[in-house]
Chains A and B, each alone.
Chain A
């Protein structure tokens, strides 16, 4: 009589892992076979993907639907600009420190916003982001309402020439995306991940089983904020110019991200990838039509939420019974 064992990876996921490594390697080599425009685009895709994975971890897995993650994008960016301009810290080091700063700030924020539930939590996080944006605009050394730029002196610390700078920041973008991916993936595979799914499905039930829901949610929230801070700092190294409106923009850092995750498939690791690709394709196709692509995006998101809650990836996965990132534990039989 055979026994049972817990399996994680499937044939598809093993194949995908190989494909993934090849993809990342060829993207890393992009500076040598592509142009600067390509690098910017891929970097943008990379950092949006990172933001999407993080929002998905929070909302899709932890059930914490935040409409305020732009707070940490802005905080990370401002920390970077402050650290380089006022403290003379090297920009790349400052990126790391910015993430840590955002993570630290998220701790008291969590204690406040966790008092709200559901949709009220969502709007509450938004208010917190607005508070940060307004507060920053009152501080002259941070550029006040009009913002500030990364000086050439600071920028040259990354690399003396423009091509070198772009290459390094590009690799940083790829690296952060991969790191965020790894962090999210490992969190989900860990017992925190199991706890999360339990909490998302039923908070009272999981609490009654001894899952410390507050602590688990806090850890996820802080880790997400920290990583979002990293990404925020990175984004504004590309943009070179920061203002409260840009750094804390709900449209740029939350609306688009939410649409990516929802359309791609909330609650899966593969979903944000699909969503990000759909967004960039739509943006390219509708580039001449101004706001229509946002209207289309909004409409598609509404339709997905009503008719296909698992998103595009969910539809594909269900049709072909696919799982590319082995997060679930499957019950398999061992040979007798």
Chain B
């Protein structure tokens, strides 16, 4: 069953068109990877789904309902959460407070402070310190935990591995697998192609605002990816 479906999704930054007729399907419980070069439109896609960019209602359909163009706080309420690019934790808040703000809209579900701390024990040890004094990997975990606190059905992850050490990336993806195993649907935007494909069921490759290639993650043709990624 399709949880998220975009049809003919177009997005603009002012006069500049960033997405051209993007069609994407994400089934309930799937993990879908979006790969592509910088500026290809991956983050723009997530932002359009999240309501941070204007879109026509029918362009984004979630659980059968058109949600395009609704404001982000409405969309969180419907069960979509975002782990933003660059973590974007709140510096004035402690680790625990950052997690708590994720639960602002109070959606029912099994994720709460205890369970998030169980998933990320090193956050529990540091719950009372300002969030920006964590290491990069810890911040990423806090950002994921914060998104989980709203009990989303669909989790959008933007560039999780950016700026992190390989060890930290490994841990993060292990946690992602655990989250996916619980039934949460994931859309992962990644520049690390191997990592993204290894973690996902299907993938889309974006290039200059369009879907250049898509398919199952385990039947990937190296050559096809390179062509789709770079457009050469």
A and B touch in the complex (CB under 8 A): no
